[in-house]
Amino acid sequence: MIALVGKIFDGEKIIDKGTVLIEGSSIIKVTEDIEIPQGAQVIKGDFIMPGMIDAHMHFFGVEDDNVLAWNLVNEIDVAIRSTRDMEKLLRSGFTAVRDLGSKVAVRLSYLQAKGEIIGPTVIASGYSLAITGGNDDPKDLPLDIAQKLSYSFYCDSPYECRKAVRKVIRQGAGVVKVYASGAFSQGGRILPGFSLDELKAIVDEAHRAGLKVASHAYGKEAIMNSILAGVDTIEHGLGIDEEVAEMMKEKEICYVPTLSTYEIPFGLPNPYRENLIKRHFNEDMRIAVNHGLLIAAGTDYVGSKKRPHGGNYREAVLLAKYMSNLEALKTITSNAAKCLGLNSGYLREGYRGDVIVLKGDPLNNIEDLSPSNVLYVIKDGKIFRGYGLYQD
């Protein structure tokens, strides 16, 4: 048995001083006093909280960060780098992540669950679903080569979309990722994605299999189509307005704004892109918070030099600019767990014993979530040293 003693954030509220008891891989008790059973292994810290969750990331294992590199990178390199990133994420305090499209995440999920590699629980989409000529189609390559190398299945009708969902289910996916739109083009516009009919076919087929659907959506049309199709989470969601926010709230659709990825400069200057990002950091977030949307922290980090895994706590830091530190902690724990359908994110009896022990107090300084403050990570009944101990 493991006994964690200190100030506790249980995913919803604060306990000024208490104890979390873990036996095996489950939490068996949380008390508001110091209760240490005989023989328990005791760990004390300044702050005890659920393990962090990144609700939107990728195991691309690349050096350069562009669509061609994501597709052309050698898969052996991806596997080796991503296995290393798995351990980096765990020791940085992340006990679960959701990979929304890559070549290796389904296998990482399988191997982590078997205990063969160290890392967070991985909810993997397998390949993402995209239209031919869309955002994730590297157009510098011939089409047949692009599809062969891609981490996306291209599909261009409701029939093809249903078949593509079945393909990712065959891969072992735990979620379905779709492109309701593209991202930014150098021509100063958002590339199109799936039509409403195609999205409806994808959602229907995924939900028949019990899988949630995550929709990459830029612009009101793509967000609206995603809502009407019945997706479970809106990813990025640049350009939300009052109307779509009300619909998302009514339908309990989760919002993953991925602010972290937009604080990193990419490519040549593009006024259209820059204005949309500026709006995302202002109007979009104001609307989302005012409408009480369920916001989950997701970085869209890919494991590149520009977006390296390990610093994923940055999303909570950015979200704390629009809400209290307590609410920001929820986005990266309990909110994310709700969005992903995980039995974690809370320190409660019967929940998974995915817990981290910090020095400092992120309620006072949200930067205390950084890897250098992570002392211990408890995952699957095992105690791992965090980067905070490595650097002492």
Query: What confidence score (pLDDT) does residue 191 get?
Result: 79
Distance CA 6, CA 254 (A): 32
Q: What is the mean pLDDT of residues 193-198?
A: 96
| Per-residue model confidence as pLDDT tens digits over 346-367 | 999 999 999 999 999 999 999 9
Query: What confidence score (pLDDT) does residue 188 get?
Result: 60
Distance CA 157, CA 148 (A): 19
Q: What is the mean pLDDT of residues 315-324?
A: 98
Which pTM does this prediction carry? 0.95
Q: Name the pLDDT band for 101 (thresholds 50, 70, 90).
A: very high
382, two tokens? 């095992």
Query: What confidence score (pLDDT) does residue 303 get?
Result: 93
End-to-end CA distance of the chain: 26
Question: Could you state, in order of their start, the residue ranges of all structural domains in the chain?
Answer: 2-50+346-389, 52-340
Q: What is the mean pLDDT of residues 137-158?
A: 85
Residue 285 clears pLDDT 60, i.e. is over it: yes
Query: What confidence score (pLDDT) does residue 265 get?
Result: 77
Fold of 52-340: TIM Barrel (3.20.20)
Query: Is the pLDDT higher at 149 or at 10?
Result: 10
Query: What confidence score (pLDDT) does residue 392 get?
Result: 46
Strand-pairing partners, residue 14, are: 9
Tell me which of 3.30.300.160, 1.10.645.10, 2.30.40.10, 2.60.260.20 is the CATH number of domain 2-50+346-389. Answer: 2.30.40.10
Q: What is the dihedral of CA 78, 313, 283, 272, to 10 degrees?
A: -30
Residue 177 clears pLDDT 90, i.e. is over it: yes
Distance CA 299, CA 309 (A): 9
Distance CA 155, CA 128 (A): 11
Q: Which residues contact 63 (CB under 8 A, 6 or more apart)?
A: 69, 304, 305
Beta pairing, strands 254-256 & 233-238 = parallel
Q: Name the pLDDT band for 184 (thresholds 50, 70, 90).
A: confident
CB 57 within 8 A of CB 298: yes
Strand-pairing partners, residue 383, are: 378
138, two tokens? 């590297």
Query: What confidence score (pLDDT) does residue 186 get?
Result: 55
Q: What is the mean pLDDT of residues 240-268?
A: 92
